[in-house]
Amino acid sequence: MHTLVFLSTRQVLQCQPAACQALPLLPRELFPLLFKVAFMDKKTVVLRELVHTWPFPLLSFQQLLQECAHCSRALLQERPSTESMQAVILGLTARLHTPEAEAGTRSFCRKHALRVLDMTGLLDDGVEQDPGTMSMWDCTAAVARTCIAQQQGGTAEPGPGPAPVELLDAGCLRRVDLRFNNLGLRGLSVIIPHVARFQRLASLRLHYVHGDSRQPSVDGEDNFRYFLAQMGRFTCLRELSMGSSLLSGRLDQLLSTLQSPLESLELAFCALLPEDLRFLARSPHAVHLKKLDLSGNDLSGSQLEPFQGLLQAAAATLLHLELTECQLADAQLLAVLPVLTRCARLRYLGLYGNPLSMAGLKELLRDSVAQAELRTVVHPFPVDCYEGLPWPPPASVLLEASINEEKFARVEAELHQLLLASGRAHVVWTTDIYGRLAADYFSL
């Protein structure tokens, strides 16, 4: 449903040249809705001018593109269009290149210079990239090129190589995302000292950092020790993502170097051992965690007990828990449920790719009634819906094998009825792992 204000705004933007001419006459309170409508409808001329003349110190995608009173569509849950993203970047370029004297004549931005462009929170799953959409890496690279060109006086066109991080303001950057790279530990050890100069960096995302204590090597140990020393330089870090890193038996070394407790920790596919989980449960980080991702770590055996201890430690703060492909069958889920349901503030629970039956899912649904803030559960296709499934089923089988669509339709209907009967029709139970991606740390 759309409000009359939204519909009127959409009508105003139908003729883009006229809308741009009218912007100085419109109250600045309309700019947030103008931005959302222009972004949604790909009104690129207006979008560029809105950024160019933005009258507030902050332009935040998370604030502007979320569900609002005028429009229930949450653009943050959709891949951003290339046209709209390019328009925003062109508007930023125009703003950076506007002389001070000219900017002073614009009533929009004379008193409220744009200080922060926050593009975090956009959907970017890294797979099935649509040619009509723009990945966050492309956005970041484009903004970096824009800022570098401005630093160079607009006279030099940045080359295709990596952005020189020394040109960036050390007090402004909040996130560095190097997840999809082939640098290896040696390459990261070269880059991290430069990243550590950003005193206000709150989020660092790295992948493929291999420090497996079971397979040490001289060069690998030297690089890992140097990497740990550099990690100790971050003073404001609150989110750390180390997905697909071999950290078996080394988690204590990594987390002990950090100067402040983390609020978001992603350790997907890190081959964690029981001692890693025990250390995390006892560490200062556990009681501050809002988001925890342990996907791809086997929690079905000796890791189950320390995992329960970790949940107990984080129960008061945890908002988002991702446990995709953790080999949790009904027996393990039932063992975890008493402590899981103590996570009273939990909003999101991801269980996709675990060998759970319909009986296990119903038990989870019934017990989660105590979690009043729970909004989304991403669950696996129940094992009841597969034909001839080996036991225990490997995660690859659960992800690739065909299911009986008729059986699954009955499962969905029964889960829906149980939600209705318990007064929780607003809670989304889904198997759509890509449509319900992990919440961005900055939006928690």
Q: Which of 125-139, 156-170, 177-191, 222-236 has the lowest mean pLDDT?
A: 156-170
Angle, vertex CA 120, rays to CA 431 and CA 74, nearest 5:
50
What's the pLDDT score for residue 241?
Answer: 95
pLDDT tens digits, 75-112: 877 778 888 888 888 888 888 777 654 554 455 444 45
Structure tokens at 252: 């204590």
The residue with greater pLDDT, 95 or 198, is: 198
Angle, vertex CA 329, rays to CA 323 and CA 332, nearest 5:
80
pTM for the model stands at 0.73
What is the three-class DSSP state of 137? helix
Residues above pLDDT 90, as percent of the chain = 50
What's the pLDDT score for residue 71?
Answer: 85
The rounded distance, in Å, linking the Cα atoms of 35 and 16 is 13
For range 50-73, the mean pLDDT: 87
Is the per-residue pLDDT at 277 higher than 60?
A: yes
Query: Would you tell me how many other CB atoms lie within 10 Å of the CB of residue 404?
Result: 14
Is the per-residue pLDDT at 322 higher than 80?
A: yes
What's the pLDDT score for residue 189?
Answer: 82
Which run of H or of E encompasses 376? strand 376-378
pLDDT tens digits, 141-168: 666 666 556 555 544 343 434 444 575 5
In sequence order, the 6+-apart residues with CB closer than 8 A to the CB of 412 are none
Q: Which of 80-94, 116-130, 257-271, 374-388 has the lowest mean pLDDT?
A: 116-130
Is the per-residue pLDDT at 191 higher than 60?
A: yes
What's the pLDDT score for residue 143?
Answer: 64
pLDDT tens digits, 9-42: 889 899 999 999 999 998 889 999 999 999 999 9
What's the pLDDT score for residue 371?
Answer: 95
What's the pLDDT score for residue 216?
Answer: 58
> Exposed (0-12), middle (13-18) or buried (19+): which is 268, by Cβ within 10 Å?
buried
pLDDT tens digits, 401-439: 888 999 999 999 999 999 999 999 999 999 988 765 567
Pairing of strands 348-350, 376-378: parallel
Is the per-residue pLDDT at 223 higher than 70?
A: yes
CB 247 within 8 A of CB 294: no
Q: Which of 23-27, 85-89, 135-139, 306-310 has the lowest mean pLDDT?
A: 135-139
Structure tokens at 347: 């909003």
Structure tokens at 161: 């190589």
3-state secondary structure string across 227-238: HHHHHCCCCCCC
The residue with greater pLDDT, 380 or 101, is: 380
Give the position of tokens 């660092």: 204
Give the position of tokens 């593009």: 119
The residue with greater pLDDT, 368 or 223, is: 368
Q: Which of 276-280, 333-337, 390-394 has the lowest mean pLDDT?
A: 390-394
The residue with greater pLDDT, 195 or 158, is: 195
Q: In b/e form, how buried is each residue of 341-372, taking b as 16+ CB within 10 angstroms?
A: bbbeebbbbbbbbbbbbbebbebbbeebeebe
For range 355-365, the mean pLDDT: 96
Residues above pLDDT 70, as percent of the chain = 82
What's the pLDDT score for residue 49?
Answer: 93
Query: Would you tell me how many other CB atoms lie within 10 Å of the CB of residue 115?
Result: 10
What is the three-class DSSP state of 321? strand
Average pLDDT of every residue of the chain: 84
Question: In the chain, what are the domain boundaries?
Answer: 1-95
What's the pLDDT score for residue 373?
Answer: 96
